[in-house]
Structures are given as C-alpha cells and as structure tokens.
Amino acid sequence: MAFSMSEELLPVFVPVIVYWIGAAIYQLTLCPMEQYRLFTKEEEETQNLATRRQVLVGVLINQAMQMGLATLMFMTGGLVPTGSNSAQSPSLLRVVGQMAVAMLVMDCWEYFWHRWTHENKFLYKHVHAMHHHIIVPYTYGSQYIHPVDAVVGEILGGLVATLVSGMSPLTAAVFFSLLTLKGLDDHCGMWFPNHPIHRWMTNNAAFHSLHHQHIGIKYNYSVHYLATWDLLLGTYLPFSVEPRKEGGYQLQIAKDL
C-alpha cells in the first residue's frame, strides 16, 4: 500500500515528541536525585561553556531544521524505502530483524562520522565543538549539535539505516524514538546502578559522560547502543564508576584506580 504524507513523517515528528516528554521526565523526576549524579551542580555551572538557555534554543532550531528537511525530502519522494510499500504488515520477527540491521548501520555510521569530527581539526573547531560546549552533560543537551552534525550524522545516517533495513515509516518511528530515549539517557549525567542499560551495556551514560570530559574526548566515540567499534579499533577508554565522598558518583579512568 502507498504511504500518506502523515505516515511518511512519523519517523520525524514522533521522536521529537518523545524527546521532550523523555527530557521532561528526566529533568523533573530523576535529575533532582543528587545521590545519582555523576557530577556536582557546581561542576556543571563552572565547566559548561553553553548556558541551558542557549542549549534549549539550539536544540529547538536543530529539530525545526530536521523536520523541515524531512518534509522537503517527502515532497521529492526521498523518504520511502524501496520495497516497503507492502500490502501486508510485516511480522514481528521481520520488524525486530529490520531494527537490528538499522541499529548496526547507525552505530557504524555514527562511530566513523563522530570520530572524524574529532580527528579532523577543521570539523572539530567549526562543527563538533558546539556539542562539547556541554562538558557536564544533561538530558536535553543530547541534540545540541551543529547543523552539519545533524545532517550528516543524524539525517543521512538515519536515511541510510532506513533504506538498508527496509523499515516502514511506523517501524522507523519506533526505532528512532528508542534511539532518542537512549540518547537522552546517555546525556543524563546520572548513574543508576540497577538501571539495565547502565548495568549491562558498555555504551551507557557513564561511557558517554567520560567522552564529554577533557580526558576522554579522544575516546569512546560510539554513540548509540554498542561500543563495538571502540573496542575493535582501540578507542575505548576503560573506566569505573565510584561513589563520591560528598554523595553521588564519579568517573575514574583505569590509571587512577
């Protein structure tokens, strides 16, 4: 069956709604819990180079640009994956398989783009440094990125993942919403010992928080679910999460242990 414009744009608009609902839940219910913070409020106030207001405006502009570009792509027929106009709904097994393929594609795409923006001095200075103005991360700073980062890393990466996996708009909306929630958690600056992602996944909030620190900026480039490419290519920086004497937690790299 042919997809309508509203169905086509589900992968664009639904994750944005999920982003702000998720960010609100973190900011209002979880982030005030001082005992789970990886950084103190003083560290956030003194280290971050962008104010929360600047981050909020930057994220809104970035999301508006992405939605506008996606709408333009729909009008030119660029959002429908080849072969996705099936008369039958895909089976659950097929959907899971498509999302697994999309995850592998996105992890690979984002790792190498992210690493390049760090190793290329021009790209870092003029593009990716914007995101690293947030040294002590917090949830809604997840999408505080330069437009070039948004287009190449997020939009093109997402488009390639959608095309390669053959996801329908509805499946893609679910996939990118989950990706959005993972990004919010990765930037929450919190550590919950019993959180399944924090406890069992290498690529978690502590992993990414370390990347935002000066000492870890050349490591831990993996962005979404897996840390595979960091582990394979030697860019993984071992660390531990230790209790802070004043309360909360802190990151320690291997040489400090």
Instruction: Give residues with Cβ within 8 angstroms of 226, minimum separation 6.
Output: 103, 104, 107, 202, 203
* pLDDT one-digit tens code per residue, 157-213: 998 999 999 999 899 999 999 999 999 999 999 999 999 999 999 999 999 999 999
* Rounded distance between C-alpha atoms, residue 158 and residue 130, angstroms: 21
What percentage of residues in the chain have a pLDDT greater than 90?
77
Is the pLDDT confidence value at 2 over 50? no
CA distances from 11 to 61, 184, 233 (A): 18, 17, 32
Is the pLDDT confidence value at 5 over 70? no
SS3 221: coil
Is the pLDDT confidence value at 1 over 50? no
The DSSP string of 142-169 is TT---HHIIIIIIIIHHHHHHHHHT--H
Q: What's this model's pTM, rounded to 2 decimal places?
A: 0.91
How crowded is residue 212: how many other Cβ atoms within 10 Å of its Cβ?
23
Contact in structure between 156 and 79 (CB atoms under 8 Å)? no
Is the pLDDT confidence value at 66 over 50? yes
* pLDDT one-digit tens code per residue, 8-20: 788 889 999 999 9
* Rounded distance between C-alpha atoms, residue 106 and residue 158, angstroms: 7
* Rounded distance between C-alpha atoms, residue 31 and residue 188, angstroms: 8
Task: State both tokens at 24.
Answer: 């609100």
CA distances from 39 to 45, 76, 88, 165, 204 (A): 10, 46, 50, 38, 15
Q: How far apart are the first and last CA of the chain?
A: 58
How crowded is residue 208: how many other Cβ atoms within 10 Å of its Cβ?
23
Every domain of the chain and the residues it spans: 8-76+91-253
| Residue 205 confidence (pLDDT) | 97
Q: What are the helix (H) ranges across the chain?
A: 5-8, 10-25, 41-47, 52-75, 92-119, 121-126, 147-148, 157-165, 169-186, 196-200, 205-212, 228-233
Is the pLDDT confidence value at 106 over 70? yes
* Rounded distance between C-alpha atoms, residue 221 and residue 227, angstroms: 8
